[in-house]
Structure 1
């Protein structure tokens, strides 16, 4: 297996494991509905089941057992989550950046799950999706991932001054980096959709997300480890890095899908 794909699968699976752990941690400390996203709003038993399911998918990815089926189910679950739980938030709060950010983060991870399903080794199960179906899902996943990048880019342009405040203070020209990342997102999205330099763009995107994990999110979590939003942001960045590396490998291993 290509080393890049190994890294992508590991990052993606690790994020899923800790998303699952988050469910258990926050269930134990809250009396009301679990705050979203990516936590599942609803009764505690639902959150526990969701956490267990995320960990189970991660185990399937790492062990390469039932990985195709598990990642397809994950992608479908994330799509339904966005459709039935995030879309009403878009409609109710169209000018709020929060539902846009969280909703399209989940769509991007859905895209990564569908692309990974396409390049996973089949288990030979009778109810496993066909290669043709997986090819369509992978195409849909790539497009969804690219659309999410465009949304993130627009947010970087609209809220550039706020984004600049998140950039570590020791990095000069913080406002410049806010716009730079927005342009990088658009460039990566165009490369993915047009399939021109798509593998290179996906690799660079994955590296950028991982750099954020190291220099931005890890220090913020270390400074405030009880802040669930900071932990979630770290895990989203790690998952996005993994998904980007998975996309990169998919362009090499399945160039026509």
Structure 2
């Protein structure tokens, strides 16, 4: 298997993971609304918007159209989650389990953001 095929398959797998996350935002929107910061109105709207963004980015990667833009925007969104959601959640958590959960989510989104930036920067 050549390098380009491995890269393309890996990009598609990444996109499928993003698509599943996006679908879950629609399936469990009400439950996820509790994670939206209180200063944002209509929490479930933001959950659905993120779900749509995840699905659209996945489609762009899979069909290989506007992949660079989609990946850069996806990476930015995930990095903003790290800064605006998970880092404050980790720093202000009083319960050790919540602190560990925030750290896990921070690392997950940071890794996914890095992956999105990498795919975007290596797309032809």
TM-score, structure 2 normalization: 0.92
Match of residue 88 from structure 2: 219
Corresponding position of 2:16: 147
Q: Which residue of 1 aligns with 2:105?
A: 233
Does residue 249 of the first structure (1) align with residue 121 of the second (2)?
yes
Equivalenced residue count is 121
Aligned to 2:62: 193
**Which runs of no fewer than 5 residues in structure 2 stay unpaired?**
none
Give the equivalent residue in structure 2 for 1:99. Answer: none
Structure with the largest fraction of helix? 2
- Structure label with greater radius of gyration: 1
Any residues of structure 2 matched to 1:53-64 within 5 Å, and which? none
In the TM superposition, structure 1's runs of 4+ consecutive aligned residues that sit over 4 Å from their partners are: none
Which structure 2 residues correspond to residues 87-106 of structure 1 after superposition, within 5 A?
none
2:2 is the alignment partner of 1:133? yes
Distance 1:142 1:159 in 2: 26
Structure 1-normalised TM-score? Answer: 0.46
User: 1:182 aligns to what?
Assistant: 51
SS in 2 for 1:168: coil
Return the alpha-carbon distance in structure 2 between the equivalents of residues 235 and 224 of structure 1. Answer: 16
Match of 1:47 in 2: none
Q: Distance in 2 between matches of 1:157 and 1:193?
A: 20
Shift of 1:172: 1.5
Residue number in structure 1 paired with 2:76: 207
Residue correspondence of structure 1 range 62-77 to structure 2 within 5 A: none
Task: Determine helix, strand or coil for the equivalent of 2:41.
Answer: coil
**What residue ranges of structure 1 are gaps of 5+ in the alignment?**
1-131
CA RMSD of aligned residues (A): 1.3
C-alpha separation between the residues in 1 aligned to 2:30 and 2:77?
20
